[in-house]
Structure 1
Amino acid sequence: MIQNKEQLQQLHEEAVKELNSYDCRILVCSGTGCIATGSNKIYEKFLEITKDAPGVTLEFAPHDEKEHLGVKKTGCQGVCELGPLVRIQKGQDVVQYVKVQLDDCAEIFEKSVLGNEVVERLLYQKGGKVCKGPDDIPFIAKQTRIVLKNCGKFDAESLREYIASGGFAALQKAMFEMTPDQVIEEVDQSGLRGRGGGGFPAGKKWIQVARQADPVHYVVCNGDEGDPGAFMDGSVMEGDPYRLIEGMMLAAYAVRAENGYIYVRAEYPNSVARLKHAIAVLEENGLLGENILGTGFNFHMHINKGAGAFVCGEGSALTASIEGSRGMPRVKPPRTVEQGLWAKPTVLNNVETYANVPEIILKGHEWYRSIGTEGSPGTKTFSLTGSIENTGLIEVPMGTTLREIIFDIGGGLKSGAAFKAVQIGGPSGGCLTEKHLDVPLDFDSVKKYGAIVGSGGLVVMDENTCMVEVARFFMGFTQRESCGKCGPCRIGTKRMLELLEKIVDGKGEMEDLEKLEELGHFVKDRSLCGLGKSAPLPVLSTIQNFRDEYVEHIVDKKCAAHVCKSMRVYEIDPDKCKGCTKCARNCPVNAITGERKAPHVIDNSKCIKCGTCLENCAFDAVVLK
């Protein structure tokens, strides 16, 4: 039980000494991506090998002559597509292995753990360059990690390792050297803006909650993260849960709250498990609960699991869900800072926002403002997905350009395809194109181009992407996720989706474009919450930037990317067709005719666009027109 700052300091010294005692640490990535590719089995295999190996021990004994080894589960190590990922750490020397399989574990243990060799075939290799350590990999080396600085380096479940890394030093500083108002002032002067999408200054929220006369205040964390392709907050919750909790404790101390709630989407079981474990450990050690560090500060943490409703990412819908009601937004004012959870003043920020706070308190607002831009200080985490060579989790200074992210960090597009667009800000964000590659990514700059930073999802699209279908896909998502409370969103998104479906089905008319734009602005301006207000952005931005594709679909009844099924036209090249009859035999509607050993013909009046002929042709004679 840690009852005062002296005991916390003593634990820090002991934890640092224990961490430094390891001759070697085997760090197995246990982020969701690597777990999906089998990292838990890799972890168990290394444990088994270590326990059976002579001359080594997993238990720290200062006078033992055996080598002290550690097998640890870390958070996301970043290069998600190359999992399972394993790092071998000896002091400051770290070897990063990628795509590790069970059969590789014994070789890694023999050469890199017991010896000083590397298994070169398991190192990251690109363009003839072999990267031994994580910082040698351009994808990682070109990042600036604040929120993610511990992910991949420490045992995600270990309080001692978190404290050894400097954890809870910010809380100690705040509680013993700063008043609550000084904590708020530091956060406010740092310029930290909410990383959940809106970009509202965090300090301003805290000021408004702190000044409310009601004696009961709450601190709530939005860990719902429902955007398709987004996994930034999930990676923090499962990879560095104590950092999130410390950030929430600092907020609670600042606004005088005694209870905090983390709202996590149910699809994040790993995050939920790690957070529950962290809370239990902190309660057991006296760092959560009553009279924390003997200061009289009381704080209790609770976890609520969402049921997968995207709209619960909106503040008032989220608090309603925690209260046990249906997650639906309400009319404002009053706002959450005045009447939030159980109608009490509430600080509501997302995971990444809270995770920034400990560093700000430790290093000061001037340090934080030295990173990023004047209007958007600090860093931003992004999930980089789509037609990109290096998919994964990144953290870069605000103001970094798309060109740097996609080509320097992401390694460019797969197979050398040409860049076409990037969907930014999730399903209700907008599309940025080649002409926007040098636009700084910050809250204010992207708004000028009909997009939002949002929570940080970046879906990269190449020349083979149909932008009309992209708009239809995202509108379909937001329309399904609309809670239906307000007419503009409930009806407007449905009508927009119907128009988009009409266009991709080859039945569109030019007047449909005007209707889409008119509806888009109507829904955007009149919807009740952020879901409806931003739902039209993918449609409006794609019409603005790729109007020619819409016209092509409507006038020419053609999809150049061959994505829209109803517009596909299959033909057989007579010069390549051998008359093998395989296409005709497999056609489900008998749309292909021809004699054996003679060129065949497709009757497009019968063709149902299923593509079976294309799949079955061994001579590349079937082509899409």
Structure 2
Amino acid sequence: MRLYLPRDSVTQALGGEQLATALKAEAARRGITLTLTRNGSRGLFWLEPLVELETPAGRVGFGPFTAADIPALFDNPATHPKALGLVAELPFLKRQQRLTFVRAGVTDPLSLDDYAAHGGWAGLNRARALSGAEICAEVTKSGLRGRGGAGFPTGIKWETVRKAEAAQKYIVCNADEGDSGSYADRLLIEADPFCLIEGMAIAALAVGATRGYVYLRSEYPIAAAILSQAITLAAQSGHLGGFHLEVRLGAGSYVCGEETALLESLEGKRGVVRAKPPVPALVGLFGHPTVINNVISLATIPHILADGAEAYAAFGLGHSRGTMPIQLSGNIKHGGLFETAFGITLGELVEEIGGGTATNRPIRAVQAGGPLGAYFAPHQFDILYGYEEYAKAGGLIGHGGLVVFDDRVNMARMARFALEFWAHESCGKCTPCRIGSTRGRELVERIMTGGGAEPHLALLRELCDTMKSASLCALGGFTPYPVLSALTLFPEDFTALPAAAE
């Protein structure tokens, strides 16, 4: 008998190790030879722990699985009460267009043979037959834009670094995934680390870099362990050639997700945003030309090189080409990662795919793009998922997170929370962010306690405009998005609250 049980953070948090031990013990008690593969998560979080049984027809799923479900699995899997049928046929998975996450939950994350058997290293092998200019041209032609939030064309960034003359160049992966409601980076690293490694090796070939760093948040210890082991295996097997790759852990600062603050932290300094220009592509890590890309951007590169730029660019909408791993969370029935081409509507994502709220109450708001992102109301659910489309609606794609709230949420409280969070996370480098977030929180609190709503509302809008136009980086510049969208869409919440509600 062959079973699959994820080793990712979610399954571990739900007792995955104890479940693995219990499965092995039950098999031994019955005299059954069991092969238990610790795969990555498929991203169907409401079904985890998700145990899969290999059958001639394909892998059959059982979940959410507990130790109490083990005897029935060995007795007769066909009549198991938690049986879900073929995992590949589950509607949540079948409707996806998985390119970057095609191996997530399918392979053993630390098996080089498994990775190669499922198309791994094909992109790197092709890249080795191309010049750096040809690799950059292929990435540019694909239309890939930064999946970390900025949406800058990846190929243009690479070409800038390639043309820069320097004795040393670096590849830096931004894995400091700090957005609430975002987990695609962690899931990819825990499920398919060789994909990220391959993408970084291709980037190194493209621009002439010999060293690379993955800046990973310290709150992801399982991801850190898996990625470190995978790098060692890839290096020992010769796949990295002369490219040296290391994992470096951040200390929990949200602003270090901004690329220049990240570089400061990598250099051993306090994580404070740098003024630009010069851009990191020319003066980056230790003053050398540096490619800085998000995990998903780099993990998408192997597919682009293996199948060709045209195949990737065939997916998408307008200037938003390819696919996006959209992360559904918050008060939602089917929370999980859903990779699909740009162009799907917000309503399809949260109501059809996500199944609506977990509480079965009406949706009141959806925050898109992380804590810096704007809120959307149900009357906006026909908006198409794309960079320009969201920008026109006053929102952000960001890292692809969608957080759902039902009709009990108070949006003034959410605006206060946003400002309070940014006041805490600001690096303090620029005045609009450092002071503006604090003054903004105070204004919202005065409004909520009845301290002259109208004058303070006008002042709040003026403050937000100042932060948007004058902040040094996106942390201060995008802080107004959740505040202004909440104020515009839900003005009735910005009134004095009863003392008991506070």
1:589-604 equivalent positions in 2, closer than 5 A: none
Partner of 1:606: none
Question: Given the alignment of the two structures, is residue 28 of structure 1 paired with residue 5 of structure 2, yes or no?
Answer: yes
Residue 69 of structure 2, aligned match among 81, 99, 104? 104
Residue 139 of structure 2, aligned match among 184, 187, 192? 187
| Bigger mean CA offset, 361-370 vs 190-199 | 361-370
Question: Given the alignment of the two structures, is residue 166 of structure 1 paired with residue 119 of structure 2, yes or no?
Answer: yes
Say if 1:505 and 1:567, in contact at 8 Å, map to a contact too: no
Q: CA deviation at 1:326?
A: 0.5
TM-score by length of 1: 0.78
Show CA shifts across 1:524-572 (max 9, x none): 100011111111111111112112322xx1xxx34xxxxxx6254xxxx
Show CA shifts across 1:12-39 (max 9, x none): xxxxxxxxxxxx5311022211211111
Q: CA deviation at 1:52?
A: 5.5
Say if 2:59 and 2:88, in contact at 8 Å, map to a contact too: no
Show CA shifts across 1:332-371 (max 9, x none): 1000100111110001000000111111101111111111
Q: Which runs of 5+ in 2 are unaligned?
A: none
- Sequence identity percentage: 38
* Secondary structure of residue in 1 paired with 2:347: helix
Question: Given the alignment of the two structures, is residue 38 of structure 1 paired with residue 3 of structure 2, yes or no?
Answer: no
1:41-56 equivalent positions in 2, closer than 5 A: 41-51=18-28, 54=31, 56=33
Residue 42 of structure 2, aligned match among 70, 77, 98? 77
Question: Given the alignment of the two structures, is residue 87 of structure 1 paired with residue 82 of structure 2, yes or no?
Answer: no
Report the AA paired with residue 276 of structure 1.
Answer: S
* Secondary structure of residue in 1 paired with 2:177: coil
Classify 1:91/1:319 alpha carbon distance in 2 versus 1 (closer, same or farther; 3 Å).
Answer: farther
Show CA shifts across 1:353-402 (max 9, x none): 01111111011111111111130111111221122111122212112111
Q: CA deviation at 1:73?
A: 1.0
Residue 255 of structure 2, aligned match among 286, 294, 311? 311
Partner of 2:270: 326
Say if 1:427 and 1:478, in contact at 8 Å, map to a contact too: no
Q: Structure 2 CA distance, aligned partners of 1:508 and 1:345?
A: 52
Partner of 2:331: 387
1:279-298 equivalent positions in 2, closer than 5 A: 279-288=231-240, 292=241, 298=242
Return the structure number with greater relative CO, CA threshold 8 A, min gap 6.
2
Report the AA paired with residue 257 of structure 2.
Answer: G
Classify 1:539/1:365 alpha carbon distance in 2 versus 1 (closer, same or farther; 3 Å).
Answer: same
Report the AA paired with residue 526 of structure 1.
Answer: A
Report the AA paired with residue 566 of structure 1.
Answer: A
Q: Structure 1 CA distance, aligned partners of 2:181 and 2:351?
A: 19
1:194-233 equivalent positions in 2, closer than 5 A: 194-233=146-185
Residue 394 of structure 2, aligned match among 443, 450, 464? 450
1:115-194 equivalent positions in 2, closer than 5 A: 117-119=78-80, 121-123=81-83, 131-175=84-128, 177-194=129-146
Report the AA paired with residue 122 of structure 1.
Answer: K
Report the AA paired with residue 350 of structure 2.
Answer: I
Show CA shifts across 1:562-599 (max 9, x none): xxx6254xxxxxxxxxxxxxxxxxxxxxxxxxxxxxxx
Q: CA deviation at 1:55?
A: 6.2
Q: CA deviation at 1:40?
A: 1.7
Residue 344 of structure 2, aligned match among 379, 389, 400? 400
Say if 1:506 and 1:567, in contact at 8 Å, map to a contact too: no
Question: Given the alignment of the two structures, is residue 234 of structure 1 paired with residue 186 of structure 2, yes or no?
Answer: yes
1:302-451 equivalent positions in 2, closer than 5 A: 302-451=246-395
Q: Structure 2 CA distance, aligned partners of 1:45 and 1:545?
A: 51
* Secondary structure of residue in 2 paired with 1:461: strand
TM-score by length of 2: 0.97
Say if 1:312 and 1:318, in contact at 8 Å, map to a contact too: yes
Say if 1:79 and 1:393, in contact at 8 Å, map to a contact too: yes
Q: Which runs of 5+ in 1 are unaligned?
A: 1-23, 57-68, 124-130, 293-297, 559-564, 569-608, 610-625
Structure showing greater radius of gyration is 1
Partner of 1:250: 202
Q: Structure 2 CA distance, aligned partners of 1:497 and 1:93?
A: 54
| Bigger mean CA offset, 142-151 vs 479-488 | 142-151
* Secondary structure of residue in 2 paired with 1:189: helix
Partner of 1:510: 454
Partner of 1:13: none
Q: Structure 2 CA distance, aligned partners of 1:303 and 1:349?
A: 15
Report the AA paired with residue 486 of structure 1.
Answer: C
Report the AA paired with residue 82 of structure 2.
Answer: L
Q: CA deviation at 1:92?
A: 4.3
Q: CA deviation at 1:132?
A: 1.1
Report the AA paired with residue 6 of structure 2.
Answer: C
Q: Structure 1 CA distance, aligned partners of 2:281 and 2:160?
A: 6
* Secondary structure of residue in 2 paired with 1:225: coil
